[in-house]
Amino acid sequence: MKTFKNFIGGDWVPPISGEYFENRNPADVSDEVGRFPLSTANDVDRAVESAKRGFELWRATPAPARGDVMRRIGDLMVKRKEEIADLMSREMGKPLTETRGDVQEGIDTAYYAGSEGRRLFGHTVPSEMKNKWAMSFRRPIGVCGIITPFNFPMAIPTWKMFPALLCGNACIFKPAEDVPHTGHVLVEIMVEAGLPPEVIQLVHGVGESVGAAIVNHPGIPVISFTGSTETGRIVGETCGRMHKRLSLEMGGKNAMMVFNDADLDLALEGVLWGAFGTTGQRCTATSRLLIQDRVHDELLSRLVEKTKSLKLGDGRKKGTDVGPLINQSAVDKVEKYVDIGQSEGADVLTGGRRPQGKGLDNGYFFEPTIFGRVRAGMRLEQEEIFGPVLSVIRFRDTDEAFAINNDVKYGLSSSVYTRDVNVAMRAMNELDTGITYINAPTIGAEAHLPFGGVKQTGNGHREGGWEVYEFYSETKVGYLDFSGALQRAQIVNYLGTPD
Ligand code: ADP
């Protein structure tokens, strides 16, 4: 089995502890992907020392030149797309069609960052005074700690690191322990593309040690975290205490609402993709399906039929619709929620079990599961499961559907299927989520738009698009007074008379 290293101090190095953890294929746990460093706080210390040097060099590199590096990273990702998609499927399970999309999102993010090197706009605005200019511009901040989850092993790290780097920061990257191989290849590509080596540091290991060491390190003023709400709370508490700049992207409990007038074929296709894509392990997964009275029975029975025909299996095999869950604790969590749902009085209409059969015994598979007769307020309807479990709820009118959508602690994404433009516009206005889709499922974010949610999904920041560049840069304001006189703002106006 191959043994991998960290990338610290501009070199591939073993962890100081000399210890490693194993990474296995969730579709077949007898398949070992590799051994990865079980790093500790000591490795993080070394990474910070090096990243500080990298930062000094990189911040002095003109932004368009930093953008050129981002573009070359994108080019290399294009070249290696198929290889990365395959190794990503092997270590996290989702089908190749999806892992290719994951890499593509990284490519799109790289090219966006490349072009942003020639923008990074500030503002030049009129001054209150004569012969005075006022402007704002952006400065890099320092070393950024990048802590990422398993479900988008390429897309999420690139969403965070490419804007951070384009703004002139250095990064310390800790990939999720279930997907270290994709993280390794990403850093390999970044270095090959010409990123100065000390600008990027890769420290593998588990969250409670390496992740916590990054969050607690006084030399890292910026933390970007995507993961569970529970871990996000711990990260947030520490960052609050240490006055760190923090971007949190956490859970969701996203609903799709199908109205009586909807195109049911389209809604059916959408919910299958939204609920069971990535085996339901997306923060934007459709985990609640709200169906209006008149079309409820028809859509539900067609959905159950279709769901039964989804093919579970190894994501690298042709014909697989749904891959495994990421690990045993994910399976345990899904099983727990199936029990909770049943004890709350909801009905399992399909799935609800670990499947038997050839090719499925050695992996963390779980049948796509649909619960009927779910009522608003049940734990099944309120809590994030992060697995292939869909709760179906009947509703009467728009007010009721929107109230159910909004009555959860999360607010990432929502979806409405209707042909009524008034309902669609009301959805845009009234649904308390960071993203609303009309006639499309709750998933499908594009790299050049802001991504994020309200309430306990996040802490007000956005990834993606133009807004993320604000997170990774500090706004500075410059005033240039060329009047040759003392001009006192708010005291004396431009005519020289008291305000
Ligand atoms: P998920 O359930 O999606 O894996 P987690 O929140 O457990 O979400 O993990 C997301 C990322 O956070 C992973 O890289 C993980 O190693 C890291 N992590 C876990 N615990 C901590 C912690 N206490 N401090 C910092 N990072 C952590």
Q: Quick check: 345 pLDDT over 90? A: yes
214 CA closest ligand 1 atom index:
25
- Measured from the Cα of 174, ligand 1's closest atom is 14
- For ligand 1, which residues put their CB under 6 angstroms from it? 147-150, 174, 176-177, 206-208, 211-212, 215, 227-228, 231, 234-235
Task: State the catalytic residue, choosing from 105, 198, 249, 367.
Answer: 249
Query: Which tokens is 383 given?
Result: 């809590």
**Mutation pick for ligand 1 pocket among 40, 92, 147 (CB with most ligand atoms within 8 Å):** 147
pLDDT tens, 403-459? Answer: 999 999 999 999 999 999 999 999 999 999 999 999 999 999 999 999 999 999 999
**Candidate list 116, 239, 283, 367, residue with the active-site label:** 283
pLDDT in tens, 8-18: 999 999 999 99
Ligand 1 midpoint to CA 243 (Å): 20
Q: Give the contacts of 343 (CB within 8 A, at least 6 positions apart).
A: none
Distance 327 CA to ligand 1 centre (A): 14
Shortest-distance Cα residue to atom 21 of ligand 1: 207
CA of residue 283 to ligand 1 center, whole Å: 14
Is residue 384 flagged as an active site residue?
no
Among protein residues, the one whose CA lies closest to atom 2 of ligand 1:
228
Integer Cα distance of 210 and 188 in angstroms = 20
Q: What is the per-residue pLDDT across 45-77, written as a single tens digit (0 to 9) for each? A: 999 999 999 999 999 999 999 999 999 999 999
| Structure confidence at residue 253 (pLDDT) | 98
Q: Cβ atoms within 10 A of the Cβ of 471, count?
A: 21
Sign, Cα dihedral of 291, 292, 294, 295: negative
Q: How far is the CA of 473 from the centre of ligand 1 (A)?
A: 25
- Cβ neighbours of 493 (radius 10 Å): 14
- From residue 422, give the alpha-carbon distance in Å to each of 401, 413, 425: 15, 19, 5
Ligand 1 center to 316 CA (angstroms): 26
In this prediction, residue 182 carries a pLDDT of 98
Radius of gyration of the chain (CA): 24
Question: Residue 496: what pLDDT?
Answer: 87
Interacting residues of 176 by C-beta distance below 8 A, sequence separation 6+: 148, 149, 150, 153, 207, 227
Q: Is 283 an annotated catalytic residue?
A: yes
Sign of CA dihedral 488, 494, 497, 499: negative
Report the atom number in ligand 1 closest to the C-alpha of 232.
Answer: 6
